[in-house]
Each structure stands twice: as C-alpha cells, then as structure tokens.
Amino acid sequence: MRGLVFLLALAPLGALADIVVPTRTIRAKEVIVAADLETKTVNIAGAVTDPADLIGQEARVALYPGRPIRPGDFGPPAIVNRNDLVTLIFHQASLSISTEGRALGRGAAGERIRVMNLSSRTTVTGLIRPDGQIEVQ
C-alpha cells in the first residue's frame, strides 16, 4: 500500500492557469469584444490565455460560455463575403488589368479565395488585399 501512495505522490499534477472563456454564446462570424470574455483558472492545455489575442477577432465556430477557446476557433474578421461583387486586379510589369468578379467564399485580408470573373465566367483564385480588392496571378 505504501508503494502506491509513493507513486501517486510522484505523478505530475497539471498546473492551473488562467484561460479565457466567453461570457455568452458567440456565433460564428461574430466579432469578439472585451465584454464577451472573462478569465477562469483551470488546467486545460492549448487554451487561449490572453484576452488581447481575441478582442477584434472573428469567431470561426460557435463559442459557448465557460468553455475554453482554442487558437483555431478565431481569426481576423472577413472583409469579403461570399457573393460579394469585388474588383479583380492583375499586375505584371507595366500591364495592369482590372475587372469585376463575384466572391465564391469569404475571407480576411491576406487570405486566398476563389472568385468568378464575371466577364469570362471563369473561376480564379486570388489574394484579398486590405482594401477588399482581389489580386490574381
């Protein structure tokens, strides 16, 4: 019996840490504000610990009150939504072409999305610029 007690005493205990949890249900695609968050002391690996990492970000999945928030659960807010009319930009050397397109997905600045060129009806992939235009190669 003593050996069992000794082994249990040597078993590593998880360290308690403050994690960030929502105070209310935050739906996917909603931007997170400071009033939506609180800290909770628990032992959960991989959960977000700094509220500043979340404020101004967009929920990628539904976040429920009291549950830990993981790094993949949020990201930068989308500036282009599915079916938005966008400007497609092509630059190469001194040649510059722009045309109208329709977004086939949604995304934030710096992400790649598929877009339909409305002139030719072809689908292209482009990078979202901070101004909402799509740069294609």
How many CB atoms lie under 10 A from the CB of residue 39?
Answer: 13
Q: Which tokens belong to 12?
A: 């590593």
User: pLDDT tens digits for 101-135?
Assistant: 999 999 999 999 999 999 999 999 999 999 999 99
pLDDT score, position 15 = 63
The whole-angstrom separation of Cα 117 and Cα 15 is 53
Write the CATH number of the domain with boundaries 14-75.
3.90.1210.10
Say whether domain 85-136 belongs to CATH 2.30.30.760. Answer: yes
pTM, rounded to two decimals: 0.71
Asked if residues 76 and 108 have their Cβ atoms less than 8 Å apart, the reply is: yes
Asked if residues 85 and 99 have their Cβ atoms less than 8 Å apart, the reply is: no
Average pLDDT, the chain: 89
Domain-wise residue ranges, the chain = 14-75, 85-136
User: pLDDT tens digits for 67-99?
Assistant: 999 999 999 999 999 999 999 999 898 999 999
Could you give the percent of the chain with pLDDT greater than 90?
A: 80
Domains 14-75 and 85-136 share a fold: no
pLDDT score, position 6 = 46
Ramachandran region of residue 118, left (φ > 0), alpha (ψ -120 to 50) or beta? alpha
The whole-angstrom separation of Cα 103 and Cα 82 is 5
Burial of 50 (0-12, 13-18, 19+ CB in 10 A): exposed
